[in-house]
Structure 1
């Protein structure tokens, strides 16, 4: 498996990955549209838009976008969506993508990565409920699934209300 940054030629394949990955979970599938809108808005962070490739085929994708935490607009990013083609589930593709994007975010100097997702899945990567760090979700009902992974540049003052990039609000 090859992990690399997204290139323009990957766009259709990335869209297809998210359509397939979330087809059974959300109708209509908003994740594929979200990635497209983040890209159109200029909010898809290139170094944090990573594809997994097997035998020349894009089989997974993860991305991060700018976010705001309290008054800070530079120290955190929002992770998501993370998508893997169904035939590659439970094969390590998703885990590899999460490890890669966390390592890249850390290397870029971000203090934390925030996401909305299944704690049973993301806890293996060091994510904890965001409330433990004084971070509140934009929608209160998200709290049981709203998580943060602190990185080396994290400081205790990174807390408050979290806001995703505007494309998330348009879902």
Structure 2
């Protein structure tokens, strides 16, 4: 599909390029508040950050054209608190979109997260894009998001069999998300 694209863990020297990729990826999206690049920086400074789950897509000539970040969030319910992951954000430079790079990033992030022992991942995203990767409405798992968004855009996915089994309640985002 994309033989010339390498998916690898982000390094500190990538931060400047990643910021530009994230800014440009969301630049023309009307539903964006255009602060996704600031979110990435705040998450890197937080306890929710998992360096192994901050990945870049790099071309053969070492240009970073995509980035994905999975960070820790919790689901709080009557039976306790459960740590899962959140995809935020998934970014691909506009001129490289619709080439499968976002999917490559997402699949690799899912594999690495499962290998690290995480059972589930959540996201707020386009209802027509993410289901092809296995995402379903979070409400089907009994998971609620703490903000007003269309049910079809609030999604969850199990990273391993029964990875979200018995986990329901409200998602609590770390302070880095600026929601609290």
Query: What is the TM-score of this pair, normalised by structure 2?
Result: 0.88
Counterpart in the other structure of 1:3: 7
Confirm or deny that 1:24 pairs with 2:9.
Answer: no
Confirm or deny that 1:136 pairs with 2:141.
Answer: no
Q: Take 2:165 and 2:48, find their aligned partners in 1: how far apart are those partners? A: 26
8 Å contact from structure 1 (residues 5, 49) kept in 2: yes
- Greater share of helix: 1
8 Å contact from structure 2 (residues 138, 155) kept in 1: yes
Confirm or deny that 1:44 pairs with 2:49.
Answer: yes
Counterpart in the other structure of 1:118: 126
Aligned length: 170
Q: Take 1:155 and 1:52, find their aligned partners in 2: how far apart are those partners? A: 28
Q: Take 2:179 and 2:137, find their aligned partners in 1: how far apart are those partners? A: 25
Counterpart in the other structure of 2:69: 63
In 2 relative to 1, CA 28–68 (structure 1 residues): closer, same or farther, beyond 3 Å?
Answer: closer
Q: Take 1:69 and 1:170, find their aligned partners in 2: how far apart are those partners? A: 15
Structure 1, unaligned stretches of length 5 or more? none
Confirm or deny that 1:107 pairs with 2:111.
Answer: no
In 2 relative to 1, CA 155–123 (structure 1 residues): closer, same or farther, beyond 3 Å?
Answer: closer
8 Å contact from structure 1 (residues 65, 164) kept in 2: no
8 Å contact from structure 2 (residues 137, 152) kept in 1: yes
Q: Take 1:48 and 1:91, find their aligned partners in 2: how far apart are those partners? A: 22
8 Å contact from structure 1 (residues 66, 73) kept in 2: no
Q: Take 1:86 and 1:14, find their aligned partners in 2: how far apart are those partners? A: 14
- Equivalent residue in structure 1 for 2:173, among 151, 164, 171: 164
Counterpart in the other structure of 2:16: 12
Structure 2, unaligned stretches of length 5 or more? none
In 2 relative to 1, CA 158–14 (structure 1 residues): closer, same or farther, beyond 3 Å?
Answer: same
8 Å contact from structure 1 (residues 38, 44) kept in 2: yes
Q: Which moves more between the two structures, 120-129 or 101-110?
A: 101-110
8 Å contact from structure 2 (residues 48, 73) kept in 1: no
8 Å contact from structure 2 (residues 52, 112) kept in 1: yes
Q: Secondary structure at the match of 2:140?
A: helix
In 2 relative to 1, CA 137–13 (structure 1 residues): closer, same or farther, beyond 3 Å?
Answer: same
Q: Take 1:133 and 1:168, find their aligned partners in 2: how far apart are those partners? A: 23
Counterpart in the other structure of 2:93: 85
